[in-house]
């Protein structure tokens, strides 16, 4: 015999209604999923005064330019407007094929370092722009080539500051641009007298020696070290670089660590024998990374590109994830997080966005599209959860009410017979 009472139905209904209400409450922190930029490569990010700035290049074979995007949230760099800050004049040695621009704040000014050529890849060299204001999204002035005594092919330049001295790092060839295999890219370093000038010649920092640094699946052989980026922890200085062919699924990250002695000497650096960040079953060719902090400075994040498919080719996307550290100051990147997996945004992001007014160039207060996008994502996730729970609650309430009503009617009929 079924024993049920209206009081039990009320209690059950109240409990389920409480569950529904608790699931409807907003979460404390937003989440996002990768990729954060669906079509992008060589991501360079810097966090400055409450904003993430994303510097990149865009265009086509006939016209290219450099842009800077600005977002409160790390995951919003691909959702905000890309402001064009510099377009090269036509017909120069640096008018085409602008690769991997980087935005740096040095000695109180903004600088953008980039590789470019005249349409012939063999002529790629490194160049620098100087900002005209304190706004990284404002205009820039072309200042010239960063030119060592040995002036060969050069790409992927960045700056290392050590003991008050600046050094320039990049990827290049040991000789003039090779016309046939083997094609080898090394990492080089040179001293700088200012953010605009290299002093003297270049010095070899790293050359590809391990199997994982080389691509030999095609008719030509490539051994590649490129995309050097500086990463520090306390007094530990690392250079995280990209290895293998960027068009392959085996593109990955390697690590150099400064030990002691002359920073210009290869022997002062130790190379790890294995990659520190590499492909998974679903993420192909992760590489060319940059590194940023969370708004509160408590977390470290890696931003990198990966191939959209396993097949050889250039379509890529940009992703981000948190990483940690070993006790000795070595980074622990783990494995690339699969696309579509929720990732909690950098710590303190929500507080920064909600308590700090975002101002436009006209001076009026506004909410960036990044904030709107992330808020909508959070609300949609909460709404979907609430809708699912509501359906379950509704079904249970209907069933329990029907059972209770049936039992009540049976008992009422029995009482009438008595």
As a whole number, mean pLDDT of residues 369-385 equals 37
Q: Active site includes 201?
A: no
Supply the pLDDT for residue 393. Answer: 43
Q: Are 355 and 348 in contact (CB under 8 A)?
A: no
As a whole number, mean pLDDT of residues 298-326 equals 97
As a whole number, mean pLDDT of residues 56-78 equals 94
Beta strands in 163-216 (DSSP E): 165-172, 183-194, 197-206, 214-215
CA 64 to chain centre: 22
As a whole number, mean pLDDT of residues 74-86 equals 97
Instruction: Please state the domain extents for the chain.
Output: 1-30+345-418, 37-340
Which residue has 């990966």 as its token pair?
A: 306
Return the exposure string of 291-329: e unless at least 16 CB atoms fall within 10 Å of the residue's CB, then b: bbbbbeeebbbbbbbbbbeeeeeeebbbbbbbbeeeeee
358 compared with 281, residue with greater pLDDT: 281
Look at residue 415 and tell me whether its pLDDT is greater than 60.
no
Q: Active site includes 42?
A: yes
Look at residue 29 and tell me whether its pLDDT is greater than 50.
yes
Confidence tier at 408 by pLDDT (50, 70, 90): very low
352 compared with 159, residue with greater pLDDT: 159
Closest by CA position to 125, among listed 106, 150, 103: 150
Look at residue 65 and tell me whether its pLDDT is greater than 50.
yes
Supply the pLDDT for residue 379. Answer: 36
213 compared with 397, residue with greater pLDDT: 213
Look at residue 335 and tell me whether its pLDDT is greater than 80.
yes
CATH for 37-340, among 1.25.40.20, 2.102.10.10, 3.30.1490.20, 2.115.10.20?
2.115.10.20
145 compared with 366, residue with greater pLDDT: 145
Supply the pLDDT for residue 354. Answer: 56
pTM, 2 dp: 0.80
Look at residue 213 and tell me whether its pLDDT is greater than 50.
yes
Look at residue 264 and tell me whether its pLDDT is greater than 90.
yes
DSSP string, 53-114: EEEEEEE-SS-EEEEEEEESSGGGTTTS-EEEEE-PPTTSTTSEEEEEEEEEEETTEEEEEE
Helix (H, G, I), strand (E, B) or coil at 219: coil
Supply the pLDDT for residue 231. Answer: 98
Confidence tier at 369 by pLDDT (50, 70, 90): very low
As a whole number, mean pLDDT of residues 325-342 equals 97
Look at residue 409 and tell me whether its pLDDT is greater than 90.
no
Confidence tier at 349 by pLDDT (50, 70, 90): confident
Per annotation, catalytic residue among 215, 226, 299, 345: 226
Per annotation, catalytic residue among 42, 213, 215, 299: 42
Q: Are 46 and 105 in contact (CB under 8 A)?
A: yes
Mean pLDDT of the chain: 83
Supply the pLDDT for residue 407. Answer: 45
As a whole number, mean pLDDT of residues 54-70 equals 94
């Amino acid at each position: 015999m079924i024993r049920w009472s209206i009081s039990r139905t009320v209690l059950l209904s109240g409990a389920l209604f409480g569950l529904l209400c608790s699931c409807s409450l907003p979460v404390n922190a937003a989440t996002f999923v990768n990729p954060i930029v669906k079509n992008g490569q060589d991501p360079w990010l810097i966090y400055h005064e409450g904003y993430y700035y994303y510097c990149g290049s865009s265009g086509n074979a006939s016209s290219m330019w450099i842009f800077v995007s600005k977002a409160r949230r790390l995951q919003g760099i691909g959702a905000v407007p890309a402001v064009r800050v510099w377009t090269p004049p036509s017909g120069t040695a640096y008018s085409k094929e602008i690769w991997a621009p980087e935005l740096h704040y040095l000695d109180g000014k903004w600088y953008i370092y980039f590789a470019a050529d005249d349409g012939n890849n063999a002529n790629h060299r490194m160049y620098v722009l100087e900002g005209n204001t304190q706004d990284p999204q404002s205009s820039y002035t072309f200042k010239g080539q960063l030119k060592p005594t040995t002036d060969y092919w050069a790409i992927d330049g960045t700056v290392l500051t050590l003991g008050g001295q600046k050094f320039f790092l990049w990827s290049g060839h040991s000789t003039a641009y090779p016309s046939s295999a083997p094609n080898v890219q090394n990492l080089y370093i040179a001293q700088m007298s200012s953010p605009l000038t290299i002093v003297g010649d270049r010095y070899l920092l790293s050359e590809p020696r391990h199997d994982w640094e080389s691509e030999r699946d095609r008719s030509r052989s490539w051994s590649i070290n490129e995309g050097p980026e500086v990463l520090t922890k306390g007094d530990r200085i690392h250079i995280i670089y990209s290895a293998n062919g960027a068009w392959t699924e085996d593109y990955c990250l390697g690590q150099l660590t400064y030990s002691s002695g002359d920073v210009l000497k290869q022997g002062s650096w130790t190379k790890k024998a294995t990659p520190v960040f590499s492909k998974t079953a679903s993420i192909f060719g992760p590489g060319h990374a940059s590194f940023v902090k969370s708004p509160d400075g408590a977390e470290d994040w890696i931003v990198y590109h990966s191939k959209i498919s396993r097949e050889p080719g250039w379509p890529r996307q940009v992703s981000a994830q948190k990483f940690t550290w070993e006790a000795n100051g070595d980074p622990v990147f783990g494995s690339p997080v699969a696309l579509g997996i929720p990732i909690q945004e950098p710590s303190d992001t929500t507080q920064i966005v909600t308590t700090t007014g975002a101002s436009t160039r006209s001076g009026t207060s506004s909410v960036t599209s990044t904030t709107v996008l992330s808020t909508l994502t959070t609300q949609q996730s909460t709404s979907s959860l609430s809708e699912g729970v509501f359906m379950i609650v509704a079904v249970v309430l209907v069933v329990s009410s029907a059972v209770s009503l049936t039992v009540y009617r049976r008992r009422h009929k029995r009482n009438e017979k008595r």
